Structure 1
């Protein structure tokens, strides 16, 4: 009988040990996925930082690859501030998006939501009927866009020209137009329509200004950047587009696209809003916009 009790006790101890190992912090279960210890939840959440540079303050959001968050466009029938977009979509973060005409509040950038074209620059008569833009119209309608694909069960992001087909086995879910591309190369002439011979530079690409951009790193993480001017030097602060490209490259970004900048530059994160453009009195301009990129769970 004593041997039986000793054997029973040993089995109980072994069972408790196995239960302890199974419940140990080496593995945690999220839904059906097993997350190793080295991939903690904190490493899969948004990281925000501010960098104060000589001529600007830069707000940076990093959305890690394979995290719980999705980065998608959102569109408003009427112009809205990033706070208004945040209230409507209950987003974790928002950054201003593509170009638009403030006079008629119509888009000049493509927006695709759930596979449907919901904002088409070809429907903007002030754009397509502008004689000064006729030579550039074909390229304006084929500018770069930030895309979200569904490839099987995997979400994938990319930055490509509007006319580029989806990769084999992938379905285009969302897209937000912008331009020019900043990385891997700066396409100022092709997409920014810079024409030095005729002193044309609609984006003021070489000037210091508030800027906004979206980028993708090698591992598929998304980087959102908003460059703000300094209130004490409103006419001599911000970034040029080439400087913005260099800054993004320093963050490990491999593909990047310029978004609407200047007075449109705005960012919402964690209940706070930040604006990029400063007026002559040193006050930040709170300008409503047509489209945004939102970060949601």
Structure 2
């Protein structure tokens, strides 16, 4: 009987020791995987007749793409210094003779540049037949939809989607994707053999696009220094190239001598003069890439 009592006492003692040891062990806390912050990606690709500079700005990230403009004109490098930007791309059209915009610009919901105020544009007799289309060209937009930022490319007169507020917009054109709208936006008139942008000719070009997931893709295609002025890319070829980048909506921006970009301390220009030197042309408006 005494042996049984001692055995029970031993078992109870062992149980108490195990219980205290279990209580002293650190409790495990479930770990939650934290996604690394999304980053901007820059690429440079050599094409048949040009060099493409590409910037991918991820959707739903800490980066914003917004328009801004100068009272006069300035280089992309000067814009970058003023706004402490990660990247700057030239954007809307302007008249170099009077330095006034020929593209709409909306910033923080306010119209800050109106082509209807450019008398050289609206009073030009050669443009009268096309004016209604010129004033309704494609623009790159930023919406606030609830608490989410969304980008879009659409015609100027199109209203924002339901539940969305138009924050920023900058016009240029034509639309490149999903289809090229040169005639619809009065850049081309086949009857009068008018082609305001030399759409099928090789030239320096700048464009902005949006992928299916809402990421923004900015592209500046420069002429090749060895190729001289007979290099660059046509608008149809630019549209095709944007497709290869996963872009579903795209818009042409001001090109030729205006094509330029700044990225992390480096400046790239698109147009070459007859001596093979890049042209550093100041511009009226730009797209700015910044952190929120």
**TM-score of the aligned structures, taking structure 1 as reference length:** 0.91
Matched, 1:164 2:164: no
**1:27 Cα deviation after fit:** 1.7
Work out the CA distance in 2 between the residues paired with 1:149 and 1:9.
59
Does the 8 Å contact 2:130/2:186 carry over to 1?
no
- Alpha-carbon spacing, 1:271–1:2, altered in 2? closer, same or farther (3 Å): farther
* Aligned match of 2:122: 128
Structure 1 runs (4+) greater than 6 angstroms displaced: none
Does the 8 Å contact 2:54/2:220 carry over to 1?
yes
**1:4 Cα deviation after fit:** 5.1
- Alpha-carbon spacing, 1:62–1:114, altered in 2? closer, same or farther (3 Å): same
* Aligned match of 2:139: 145
Does the 8 Å contact 2:115/2:121 carry over to 1?
yes
Does the 8 Å contact 1:192/1:203 carry over to 2?
no
Work out the CA distance in 2 between the residues paired with 1:88 and 1:5.
70
Q: Deviations over 1:243-277 (max 9, x none)?
A: 00000011110000000000000111111111100
* Aligned partner (choices 65, 70, 83) of residue 64 of structure 2: 70
Q: Deviations over 1:210-249 (max 9, x none)?
A: 0000000111010000000011122211000000000001
Matched, 1:198 2:184: no
- Alpha-carbon spacing, 1:8–1:267, altered in 2? closer, same or farther (3 Å): farther
* Aligned match of 1:227: 221
Moved more, 102-111 or 186-195: 186-195
3-state SS of paired residue (1:67): coil
Matched, 1:103 2:97: yes
**1:10 Cα deviation after fit:** 2.4
Matched, 1:11 2:23: yes
- Alpha-carbon spacing, 1:4–1:270, altered in 2? closer, same or farther (3 Å): farther
* Aligned match of 2:149: 155
Structure 2: gaps of 5 or more residues: 1-12
* Aligned match of 2:48: 54
**1:2 Cα deviation after fit:** 7.1
**1:80 Cα deviation after fit:** 0.7
Work out the CA distance in 2 between the residues paired with 1:157 and 1:11.
55
Alignment root-mean-square deviation, CA: 1.4
3-state SS of paired residue (1:27): coil
Structure 1: gaps of 5 or more residues: 29-34
Work out the CA distance in 1 between the residues paired with 2:54 and 2:270.
13
Work out the CA distance in 1 between the residues paired with 2:278 and 2:67.
24
